[in-house]
Structure 1
Amino acid sequence: MIAYLKAKEEEMLQLLEKLVNIDSGSYVKSGIDEVGRILQKEYEALGYEVCIHEQPERGNNLSIRHKEAVNPQILAIAHMDTVFVEGTVQERPFTRDETRAYGPGVFDMKGSQVALLYALKALIEEKEEAYKNVEIILNTDEEIGSPESRPLIEEVAKDKKYALIVEPSQSRETVVSQRKGGGKYFLKVTGIAAHAGGEPEKGRSAIGELAHKIIKLHSLTNLEEGITLNVGIIQGGTSVNTISPYAYGALDVRVETHEQAEEVDRAIREICATVDVEGTSIELTGQMRRPPLILSEKSKELLSIIQEVGGELGVEITDTKSGGGSDGNLTAAVGVATIDGLGPIGGNAHSAEEFLEIDSFVDRTLFIASIIKRLSDKRH
C-alpha cells in the first residue's frame, strides 16, 4: 500500500486543495454541502453507497457503506465543517510550500477527509476485503458540538465494535485516547433601566448581576481535577450613563468524568437559581453537550492493537489526553471501543496559521488503512 499511496500523494494534495478552497464553516450550509457532493462522488466511484441525511439549516450529514458490506464492525467519523466564516477562503486560499500546506480547515480536518478516502482506496487496490468492514459518517456540525448529527452517530455506533475518529494529530507518535467532556450554558439577565446620574436608585443593573455570576461560576474551576469554566462572551447595557436593563453571558465548561459533569451542572443551576442584585432576573439555558471520552477496557484493547500496527510501521505510538471534545466522546459513551486523533499531522488549528505537514499525509493514510486491515482480520 505504501507504493500506491506515494504514487498518489500529488493527487491527494490536489483533492485537499479543492476541499480547502470551499468555505465550509459550521453555519455555511451551501459550502458544506458542496464538500459533501465532492466526497459523495469519490466514494460512489469506489462502490460505496451514500445516504444523505438532509438538514434544513446545517449541512447534510452523510453515512457511507460499501454496497457489498455485511454488518461492518468499524465506524469511521470525519467532520466536513470548519470554524471559519464565509469569505475566509477568498482572503487566504490554499497554499503550499515544500513541507507544509496551509488554508482554512487544512488541518482540522480536510486533510483527514482525504486520508480516510485514500486509505480505503489503498485497501481496494490491494484487494483487501477490509474496505467492506467500514461504515463512515461525514458530519457537518462537529465544531459546534454535533447537535444535529449526534443521533445519527449514536444510532450507527451502537452495533459497531470499533470507532476510529479521524481527527488530526499533533505528532506521528500519538493518538488520542481520552478527551474532556464539555457543555455550553447561556445566561440572559434582565434588570431595570434608569439614568445613572439622575435616578440611579430606580435602576437594577443586569451587568452587575452578571458580574456576580461570572465570579461564582469561575470559582468552580479546579485545574487539578481537570474542571474548567470560562465565561467567554459577555454583552449588555444600552449606554454608559444608563443602569443596564439587560446582560448576556456565554459559558464554556470542560470536565474529565461523568460524575464531574453531573456535579458541575448542578452547581451552575444552583448559582443561577437566585440573584445577587435584587430586582434582576436570570434565564439560564444550555447543558453538558458532550460526555467525556474515557479510556475503557474495550478502548485499551483497541489502543493495544493500534500500537502493534504502529510498531509494524516503525512508529512507537503513545496515547494522549485532549482538553477538546470530538465525536469520539459520543461513540465511547454508547460503549464502543474508541480511539481518536488518527489523522495527518499539523498544527495551529482554528487560526490563520493553520497548517498540515505534507510528509505526514502518506504516512498517516497508510496508518489508517493498516488499522482497518488489522481490525478486519478474523482474529480480531
Structure 2
Amino acid sequence: MIKLLEELVNIDSGSMHKNGVDKVGSIMQKRYEVIGFRTEVINQKKLGNHLILKHDTVENPKILLIAHMDTVFKEGIAEERPFYIENNRAYGPGVADMKGSQVSLLYAMKYLSKHSPESLKKVIIFLNSDEEIGSRTSRPIIEELSKKVDYALVMEPARKDGSIVTSRRGGGTFRLEITGKSAHSGVAPEEGRSAIEEMGHKIVKLSQLTNHEEGISINVGQVKGGNATNVVADLAILDVDVRVSNTEQSDDIVRQIESICSIPDIEGTKIELTGGIRRPPMELDKQNQELLRVIQNVGENLDLEVSHTHTGGGSDAAFPSDLGVATVDGLGPIGGEMHSENEYLEVDSLVERTELLAETIKHLAMHK
C-alpha cells in the first residue's frame, strides 16, 4: 500500500493537468483489471478521463463508490515536495486528498475478492478527474450512476480526529459583471456612470446576507475594475463564494442574490449575473443516519469507534445525497492539513480504514 501511495503522490495530477490525471487513472485501471474489474473510460478533451469500474461478476449493483484522481496542486509540486514518511505520517501533494483513498479503495476490493467475492457483484466504482474544480463534467455521470444504487460511499479522507463526514454545506460561485459609462474624472465626471461605485453597493448588500449562526456565508473573494485613476470605470467584475447548510437556505439565498442584482444602485449601470449553487448541501437525513449506524456497527465489530462530523467544504457526496441515496463521506484514511504544503496521512490508518470500508461494503452487499 505504501509503495503504491508513493507512486501516486509523486505524479502531478492537478485538475487542469490532464496527462498527470490520466497517468494516475491508467495505473489504477491496470490494478483493478488484475482483480477482475472491467473499465469504461469516459474520455475528456481538456480534463482527465473518468473511469467507471465494475467487476466481471457484477449483478444489480447497489453500492456506488466515488473517489477523485485530481488534486489542487500545480504542475511541478510533486518534484519539489516528493513523498516521504516521518513520525508515522506520510507527506506529499495530495497524499490524503485523495491518493491515500485511492490506495484504500483498491485494497478494499482486493480484500473482498479474497474474503467476500460475492460482494463485488454489488459494486460500482467511479473515479473522476475534476472534483477539485467543482465536478464540472463528472456531476451528471455521478447523478446518473446514483439513480441505480441504494448507497453511496465517498472516499474523501477522514478528518484529523478520525471522524467520517455525514453532512456538508452546499456552495457555489456567482459572478457580477457590472457595466457603466466611462468619462474623464476631472473634465466631465457627471457624464460617467461608475461601475466600481455600483460594485461597492453590491459588495455591502451581498455581505449582509452572511449569517454564521445559520451556516450561511457570502464571501466576495475577487474584484477587478477600472483602467486608470482619472477615468470613471465603465466595467467592474466581482466573484462571490456562497455557502449554505440546507436546501431551503440555498433556494432563498439564490433569490436574494438575484433580487439584489436586478436593481442598480447607480442609475445608468447594468449588472449581468452568472453562476449558481454548484453543489447542493449534504444533510444528515434519515437515510444517511441509517447508513451511519451501519458503519458504526461494523466499526464496533472491528473494535473501532467511528465518530462523525459536519464540515463546511463541499464534495461529490452532495450529488447522490441530494437524490435521496443514502450517502456517507470521509471513508478514506485519516489525514489533515488538506490542500497545503503540510498535508499528511496517518500511515497506521491505511489498513484500519481499508478494513472498515471493506467490511461495510460486505455488510451492505449482503443486506436485503
State if a TM-score over 0.5 links the two structures. yes
Which among 10, 17, 26 is matched to residue 37 of structure 1? Answer: 26
Whether the aligned pair in 2 keeps the contact of 1:231 and 1:252 (CA below 8 Å) is yes
Match of 2:331 in 1: 342
Output the amino acid matched with 2:306: I
Q: Once the two structures are superposed, what CA deviation does each residue of 1:46-76 show, in whole Å capped at 9, x if it has no partner? A: 1100101111222111111101111111100
Whether the aligned pair in 2 keeps the contact of 1:119 and 1:365 (CA below 8 Å) is yes
Distance 1:242 1:94, change over 3 A: farther
SS where residue 19 of structure 1 aligns?
helix
Match of 1:5 in 2: none
Q: 2: distance between equivalents of 1:191 and 1:103?
A: 47
Output the amino acid matched with 1:215: V
Match of 2:88 in 1: 99
Match of 1:63 in 2: 52
Whether the aligned pair in 2 keeps the contact of 1:20 and 1:110 (CA below 8 Å) is yes
Which among 169, 179, 182 is matched to residue 190 of structure 1? Answer: 179
Whether the aligned pair in 2 keeps the contact of 1:189 and 1:281 (CA below 8 Å) is yes
Which among 194, 201, 210 is matched to residue 205 of structure 1? Answer: 194
Which among 39, 54, 61 is matched to residue 72 of structure 1? Answer: 61
Query: Is 1:115 matched up with 2:104?
Result: yes
Whether the aligned pair in 2 keeps the contact of 1:172 and 1:360 (CA below 8 Å) is no
- The alpha-carbon deviation at position 129 of structure 1 amounts to 2.1
SS where residue 114 of structure 1 aligns?
helix
Query: Is 1:49 matched up with 2:38?
Result: yes
- The alpha-carbon deviation at position 127 of structure 1 amounts to 4.6
Q: Which runs of 5 or more residues in structure 1 are unaligned?
A: 1-11
List aligned pairs for 1:218-257, cutoff 5 A: 218-257=207-246
Match of 1:7 in 2: none
Q: Once the two structures are superposed, what CA deviation does each residue of 1:279-327 show, in whole Å capped at 9, x if it has no partner? A: 2221110011111112222221111110001111112222211111111
Match of 1:9 in 2: none
List aligned pairs for 1:90-169, cutoff 5 A: 90-169=79-158
List aligned pairs for 1:332-371, cutoff 5 A: 332-371=321-360
Output the amino acid matched with 2:289: K
Which among 251, 271, 276 is matched to residue 282 of structure 1? Answer: 271
Whether the aligned pair in 1 keeps the contact of 2:91 and 2:345 (CA below 8 Å) is yes
SS where residue 132 of structure 1 aligns?
helix
Query: Is 1:303 matched up with 2:292?
Result: yes
**Which of structure 1's runs of 4+ aligned residues deviate more than 6 A?**
none
**Stretch deviating more after TM superposition (305-314 or 22-31):** 22-31
| TM-score where L is the length of structure 2 | 0.96
List aligned pairs for 1:172-191, cutoff 5 A: 173-191=162-180
Size of the alignment, in residue pairs? Answer: 368
Whether the aligned pair in 1 keeps the contact of 2:60 and 2:121 (CA below 8 Å) is no
Q: 1: distance between equivalents of 2:185 and 2:343?
A: 46
Output the amino acid matched with 1:68: T
Q: 1: distance between equivalents of 2:92 and 2:187?
A: 54
Distance 1:92 1:244, change over 3 A: farther
Whether the aligned pair in 2 keeps the contact of 1:128 and 1:373 (CA below 8 Å) is no
Which among 82, 85, 95 is matched to residue 74 of structure 2? Answer: 85
Whether the aligned pair in 2 keeps the contact of 1:109 and 1:167 (CA below 8 Å) is yes
Q: Which runs of 5 or more residues in structure 2 are unaligned?
A: none
Name the Cα RMSD after superposition.
1.4
**Stretch deviating more after TM superposition (91-100 or 315-324):** 91-100
- The alpha-carbon deviation at position 173 of structure 1 amounts to 4.2
Distance 1:205 1:95, change over 3 A: farther
Q: 2: distance between equivalents of 1:310 and 1:302?
A: 12
Whether the aligned pair in 2 keeps the contact of 1:173 and 1:315 (CA below 8 Å) is no
Output the amino acid matched with 1:232: G
Q: 1: distance between equivalents of 2:162 and 2:303?
A: 10
Q: Once the two structures are superposed, what CA deviation does each residue of 1:250-304 show, in whole Å capped at 9, x if it has no partner? A: 1111111111111100000010111112222211100111111122222211111
